[in-house]
Chains A and B, each alone.
Chain A
Amino acid sequence: MIKLNVNGQTKEVDVDPATPILWVVRENLEMTGTKFGCGIAQCGACTVHLDGKPVRSCSTPISQADGKAITTVEGLAAEDGTLSKVQQAWIDAQVPQCGYCQSGQIMSATALLKNNPQPTDEQINSAMAGNVCRCGMYGRIRSAIKIAAGMEQPATETGSESTKVEA
């Protein structure tokens, strides 16, 4: 039995200690917000926090979570369901398309802003370059991070300000 702290709750699981955190969370704990994308730490879809630091859960054995707190995307909102600043910014900037990469993106962005509340573009790049978005929403991810950081205002009406429509 391995004792875990996931999103503030204590859980016990009976798994091989070498099992990646990803599969324990998804299959044993049935929390499927964390996604499988590549299995080799190349895409970031599986990103969770270990004691607040982003890790690729597909390549991190559950044994390494021993004595540490795991946070998944399901643990970001407040008890009453109020979304975190980053999650809200993701809605404001209409970031997700298919949405599959976004749990990982949001976890990486949350960790970035915790350490660096006003990141530069370069800092955003280096913190987020490990997260692939096959739907290509990188421009919106950048805006959303800046919105969450209070560096940019959400567009009043939904939509990127770079769109112009002529009749």
Chain B
Amino acid sequence: MGKWSRRAFIGAGVVAGGALVVGVAVRPGNPTDELKPILASGEGEELLNAWVKVGTDNAITAIIPHVEMGQGAFTALAQMLADEMDADWANVRILEAPAIDQYVSDSIGREFIAPNLEVPEILEPTVAGGFLELVQAMGLQITGGSFSVRGTGQRAMRTAGAAAREMLVAAAASEWDVAESEITTANSMVNHAKSGKSEPYAKFAAAAAEQSLPAKPKLKSPDKYTLMGKPIARTDIPAKVDGSADFGIDAKVPGMKYAAVKAAPVVGATVEAMDATAAKTMPGVLQILNMGDFVAVVADGYWQAQQALNTIDATYSGTEGDKLDNAALFKRYDEYLNEAGTDGGDTETEEGDVSDAFARAATKVEAEYKVPFLAHATMEPMNCTAWVRDGKCDVWAGHQSPLGARKAAAEAAGLDFEDVSYHNAYLGGGFGRRSENDNIEMAVRLAKATKYPIKMIWSREEDTMQDHYRPSATSRFEGGLDKDGNAVSWSNIHTHLFDPQEAPTVPYYNIANHKIRKVDVPTHLRFGPWRSVDHSQHGFFIESFVDEMAVAAGKDGYAFRRELLAGSKRHLAILDKAAEMSGWDKPMPEGHGRGIAFVPSFGSIIAQVAEVDMTGAKPKVKKVYVAADAGFVVNPDGFTAQMESAIVYGLTATLYGEISLKDGAVQQSNFHDYPMLRINEMPEVEVEIINGDHKRLGGGGEPGLPPIAPAVTNAIFAATGKRVRELPLSKTSFA
């Protein structure tokens, strides 16, 4: 991990001369003045820096350059800022940063583009400056990569809060003519004990804005935290129990019409012809459009539009993908893997001499695993509302990257970025799906073509069949054990690599000789990041194969992993904790099994033990124990909720998740054939958190997912002796 020090972060603003700064401070001549009219609404309110506003009523507004999709980012980030600022939590408000360049979330861009960049501290400001430029050019304001808290929170929110506090203290010290060291702060008040003076922050807001930005605001040590580490109630929840929370689909624009759409079933095909005779006369129908890549019906109401759309008969152009079905696709994977043989493909990591070690191994283990395409199935189907008129465009949606959405809208409308106003709402699930812009572009195109304000809603069928899918993949392993059952070689070749680059690697396991390769196999489907991205496949592959090696070595899966992790204290602590929580050594009843899996990802170390009951017709996951080290957990309840959530998301995929192809088109369409885990299948989940390093935070939204599939399949093996090498489990008969 790069040394992204707080000095460097602030340094970025200073070195870049302001132009490239992500709204660190408001000073005369600084372009963040642009932000003032947007955020400083009240008379006499001063914007201290881009992440915090002190109101005349002494309310502190944390401005969050991320979106809320249920991951609790708003609350956790505000906690970090407010803690450093000594703000009164009862009077802290949260504002989502508007989609303007000054709010580019630089830290996530850095993680996406140069995740493991080690930069000498002295060079950081330059790198940061250049890096910000790059990020801005790409239009990133992404929420993803489990990065809100560990990136923006740790690097920006805390620094901003601390800087704001220091500037307020400096302003008070100068007004009271006392030493800064004699001033204390608490609950949004500045106090001077000697003179008995005590004033709200608001009193010094204007003067503080004139102070120079502290070069290196002092961050609290963990023993001084008052809000961080506390399970504070999420601020977005009340609006989500009374129906008042507005999601993208709830946008209300006067005079708006509704559009239902159907895209060509095979991606890349175009609509050649359509017969809309019946649709034309249906009630409420206003316009029927062939948009080239999709058909749309615009009507007074969505249901009318969808009913009419259902009657339209369209024919599509032929494409390369037309003939492809699932069997052919996996056969293609095999062909590419066979062709790569023992030496071909792209080498991702290599250490030692794998071929030699494998050739001399006392025991050789080989296995091949397969996982299918997966759809995101966000609870809120894709949608977007757009209005293009008088050279301007307004867009309403819930998007993981508001800035990217705004740019995409401008392009689709043929307008300048400045002429597009983007309004973000709550996201009814993101999971990576809402980082794509296809829905934005389609709605804008429809709005432009029809002149109406258009609310475009995808049916669930469309949402399932037109996703950007988690790639399917095949992965092959060869592992060698010496005569004592120690792992001496690890060789893997797999199809596809999307992100993050380290997903297929196992640097934390001590295996002297290892080599990991990939082959890229062309497919016509669109891929997209899916919760935990490539860790979702490789977590299953790696932890299944480790288990198979343990069996071949005649060792217990937990004990074998302990050996592989020897010397890594934090890793061992988590593995041991999960085993201890589950009572690993205690016998299970007949037909029940326990499986363990260990996957570090997104900066967090996670081990899970799953208990599975195999006595019924299908596997029943009864309980999952989770041990997690995410450095320092800012909001333990929010983090725990993320673990529960990731387990359900991953377990749904393990049990049922499969998107398959026939004649190039996706076969699944709705929850009846792309089923979801339901409450009656919910395992008990127990979470323990170890705060292993308060300086380096890990993610929360994604890392809980990768271990669940292998924990479950390893448990199935323990219970039945049957090794599952292909997901979902619904493909395997356990009769």
Contacts and interface: CB of A to CB of B under 8 A. Distances in A.
23 contacts: A19-B303, A27-B301, A32-B243, A37-B460, A74-B243, A90-B237, A91-B238, A95-B241, A96-B240, A97-B71, A103-B243, A126-B680, A132-B676, A133-B379, A134-B429, A134-B649, A134-B676, A135-B70, A136-B646, A136-B648, A158-B233, A163-B636, A163-B689
A137 B241 contact: no
A128 B678 CA distance: 8
A159 interface: yes
A51 interface: no
Contacts of B236: 96, 99
A135 B645 contact: yes
A42 B670 contact: yes
Report which residue of A30, A34, A39 has the largest number of chain B beta carbons within 10 angstroms of its beta carbon: A39
A20 B307 CA distance: 12
B582 to A, nearest CB: 13
Nearest to B457: A36
A36 B381 contact: yes
A12 B688 CA distance: 54
Interface residues of B, number: 75
A73 B242 contact: yes
A141 B644 CA distance: 12
A91 B237 contact: yes
A138 B429 contact: no
Contacts of A138: 648, 677-679, 682
Contact of B678 (A35, A73, A97, A132): A132
Contacts, number: 224
A14 B427 CA distance: 31
B237 A96 contact: yes
A147 interface: no
Given A91-B233, A100-B428, A165 B241 contact: no
Interface stretch (B5-13, B244-252, B512-520): B244-252
B688 A20 contact: no
B234 interface: yes
B675 to A, nearest CB: 9
Interface in B632-646: 633, 636-637, 639-641, 644-646
B412 interface: no
A146 B137 CA distance: 51
A30 B253 CA distance: 11
Contact of A129 (B649, B671, B680, B690): B680
Interface in A28-69: 28, 30-40, 42-43, 45
A94 interface: yes
A105 B644 CA distance: 17
Contact of B459 (A39, A163, A166): A39
A76 interface: yes
Interface in A94-121: 94-103, 106
Contacts of B429: 98, 100, 134-135
Nearest to B302: A23
Report which residue of A90, A124, A159 has the largest number of chain B beta carbons within 10 angstroms of its beta carbon: A159
Contacts of B457: 36
A11 to B, nearest CB: 16
Interface in B413-441: 426-430
A87 B670 CA distance: 29
B254 to A, nearest CB: 11
Interface residues of A, number: 68
B511 interface: no
B70 A99 contact: yes
A125 to B, nearest CB: 4
Contacts of B717: none
Given A40-B460, A159-B640, A165-B633, A99 B649 contact: no
Contact of A131 (B258, B641, B679, B691): B679
Interface string B221-237: 00000000111111011
Given A157-B231, A163-B689, A99 B240 contact: yes
Given A33-B243, A39-B460, A103-B243, A98 B691 contact: no
Nearest to B245: A99
Report which residue of B246, B381, B427 has the largest number of chain A beta carbons within 10 angstroms of its beta carbon: B381
A152 B689 CA distance: 24
B425 to A, nearest CB: 11
Contacts of B380: 35, 37, 98, 100
Contacts of B639: 163
A67 B505 CA distance: 64
Contacts of B522: none
Interface of A: 15-16, 19-20, 23, 27-28, 30-40, 42-43, 45, 72-74, 76-77, 83, 87, 90-91, 94-103, 106, 124-126, 128-129, 131-142, 157-160, 162-167
B552 interface: no
B687 interface: yes
Contacts of B685: 139, 162
A19 B283 CA distance: 11
Contacts of A137: 641, 644-645
A34 B243 contact: yes
Report which residue of B238, B240, B377, B652 has the largest number of chain A beta carbons within 10 angstroms of its beta carbon: B240
> Shortest 5 CB-CB distances between A and B: which pairs?
A33-B243, A136-B648, A97-B70, A99-B240, A100-B428
B379 A163 contact: no
A162 B688 CA distance: 8
B237 to A, nearest CB: 5
A101 B232 CA distance: 23
Contacts of A31: 243
Contacts of B140: none
Interface in B609-626: none
A36 B249 contact: yes
A158 B232 contact: yes
A74 to B, nearest CB: 5
Interface string B651-693: 0100000000000000000111000111110101111111100
A77 B260 CA distance: 33
B237 A94 contact: yes
Given A98-B426, A136-B677, A164 B688 contact: yes
B378 interface: yes
B647 interface: yes
B688 A163 contact: yes
Given A31-B243, A100-B429, A142 B637 contact: no
A19 B284 CA distance: 12
A59 B691 CA distance: 48
A128 B679 contact: yes
A32 B648 contact: no
